[in-house]
Structure 1
């Protein structure tokens, strides 16, 4: 099963470009289990400024890594591609929603 992650973060915050490739980004650290993080590889990440809004950015998840300070929190590396301007089809938790497809 593939997992898509919908993350609540204001534009330009908790998201950064990494490496020389202009479409490779990394999210901040989010509270996600190892199992969900593994299922998310090959899935999509969507960044939303507000729960009721369409995502403003997103792409295909390539990898993840745990925070050195808190292994329960994961950052996701993704390649920007479209379409990503969609609304979250699931109920939100505090700052994230997990959509299994």
Structure 2
């Protein structure tokens, strides 16, 4: 199973540009098991709008402060600009994909 993580980041808030098409998200509260399965990240301005950015996850890391939150590093791709097909929580949605 893989997971697409959809998150709300208005105006690129908490996004870090690391290099050519590579970004790191702010920290998000998900379980470590979920973090391990995230293969795509989609960054949205608002829940009802398609993602304005996102891409393939390169790596993830736990918040060093031990908050149970995770950062995701991804390479931006044009095909990540999609609406969320799952149910939103307050600021994020976890969309599970079954392979096969």
Q: Answer yes or no: same fold by TM over 0.5.
A: yes
State TM-score, norm by structure 2: 0.92
Where structure 1 has 5 or more consecutive residues not aligned to the other structure, the ranges are none
Question: 63, 69, 87: which one pairs with 2:65?
Answer: 69
Corresponding position of 1:100: 96
The SS at the match of 1:92 is coil
State TM-score, norm by structure 1: 0.91
Q: Which structure shows the higher strand fraction?
A: 2
The SS at the match of 1:83 is helix
The SS at the match of 2:12 is coil
Q: Which structure shows the higher helix fraction?
A: 2
- CA RMSD of superposed structures (Å): 1.0
Corresponding position of 2:81: 85
Is the Cα–Cα contact under 8 Å of residues 60 and 78 in structure 1 kept in the other structure?
yes
Count of residues in Structure 1 that have an aligned counterpart in Structure 2: 97
